[in-house]
Each structure stands twice: as structure tokens, then as C-alpha cells.
Amino acid sequence: MPAFAGFLYGLAMKKKTVLFCTGLSGSGKSYFIQNILPKGAFYNLKSATTRAMRDDEKDGREYYFRDESYFETEKFATN
């Protein structure tokens, strides 16, 4: 485990920590989450996307796959 992964684990265990893993498509976000972050230290929140599902993906596992009309017609909580 890289040293910074141990640091992140320690931080997560001491405080309520939010860690955003963002990047372009294909930049390694999933690899980082699955292989670098300590297991069990963070919850993985899924987001919704309008892109096409890849062969090895399943709706609700990696993302929630929706078409654009979903976002135009669905009521979302707003302030």
C-alpha cells in the first residue's frame, strides 16, 4: 500500500472525511478507487451518467445510466 493510502485510511478513521476522485474518462479513477484506496475506509457514491454503458458495466454498480430525457423530466430536489 502506498504511503499516502495509509495516510488516507488514518484520516478516514479519525474524522468524517470526504474524498472526491475526479478526472477525465479513462484517467484511472476506478483503478485508483479499486487498487490504491484502503478497502473499507470509504463509501463509493455512484453518480448518474448519460454516456453509453460499457460491456463490463452494470446499471447501478458503477453508475446509474440514464438518457437525457430522464434529467429533463425527473423532479429533483432543489433549494
Do 1 and 29 sit in the same domain of this protein? Answer: yes
Q: Supply the pLDDT for residue 59.
A: 96
Do 4 and 30 sit in the same domain of this protein? Answer: yes
Do 35 and 52 sit in the same domain of this protein? Answer: no
Please compute the mean of the pLDDT values over residues 63-72 and round it to a whole number.
Answer: 88
Please compute the mean of the pLDDT values over residues 22-30 and round it to a whole number.
Answer: 85
Do 35 and 50 sit in the same domain of this protein? Answer: no
Do 35 and 53 sit in the same domain of this protein? Answer: no
Q: For 12-16, 38-42, 58-62, which range has the lowest pLDDT when averaged over its residues?
A: 12-16
C-alpha 36/C-alpha 57 separation (Å) is 20
Please compute the mean of the pLDDT values over residues 7-32 and round it to a whole number.
Answer: 76
Q: Supply the pLDDT for residue 69.
A: 87
**Widest CA span in the chain:** 46
Count of domains observed in the chain: 2
Report the chain's mean pLDDT, rounded to a whole number: 79
Do 1 and 28 sit in the same domain of this protein? Answer: yes
